[in-house]
Structure 1
Amino acid sequence: MGLFNFSEVATYFFRKKDPNRKTNFNLRTMHFINKLSMSIFLAGLIYMAIKYLF
């Protein structure tokens, strides 16, 4: 049942920063774009669900 384990996705927005990991502009930008695209996708799903139900 590892296929339907969404814990990584659910905790992606609420991770604590690892002080031992080096970060750079490219990595921060990549994570920002990932979070933005997931947020827009979820907003679209919610919009479509509300539009379908009402």
Structure 2
Amino acid sequence: MSDNKKGGLKEFFSMNEVAGYFFRSKEKNRTDNVNLKMMHGINKISIVMFLLGIIYLVMKNIF
């Protein structure tokens, strides 16, 4: 299996998009909307809970 082609296994397991979502900088021309902030907060919580659940299931099946 080639890692050079787009959509390869290495790109599938890449965490760059997730890390970029959590640690992105503030944009100057973005409006401060309370609903948008709440939506992003809930999305971040759900991503963390999902990753913790996956880690738990993996650890439970290994040990």
Q: TM-score, normalised by structure 2?
A: 0.72
Q: TM-score, normalised by structure 1?
A: 0.82
Unaligned runs of 5+ in 2: 1-5
Question: Which of 23, 35, 38 is residue 47 of structure 2 equivalent to?
Answer: 38
Identity of aligned residues (%): 52
Distance 1:6 1:15 in 2: 14
Query: After alignment, is 11-20 or 25-34 more displaced?
Result: 11-20
Aligned pairs for 1:3-18 (under 5 A) are 4=12, 7-18=16-27
Query: After alignment, is 5-14 or 30-39 more displaced?
Result: 5-14
Structure of greater Rg: 2
Distance 2:51 2:44 in 1: 11
- Amino acid across the alignment from 1:36: I
Bigger fraction of residues in helix: 1
> What's the C-alpha RMSD, in Å, of the aligned pairs?
1.8
The secondary structure found in structure 2 opposite 1:11 is helix
Tell me the residue number matched to 2:30. 21
Give the total of aligned pairs.
54
- Amino acid across the alignment from 1:9: V
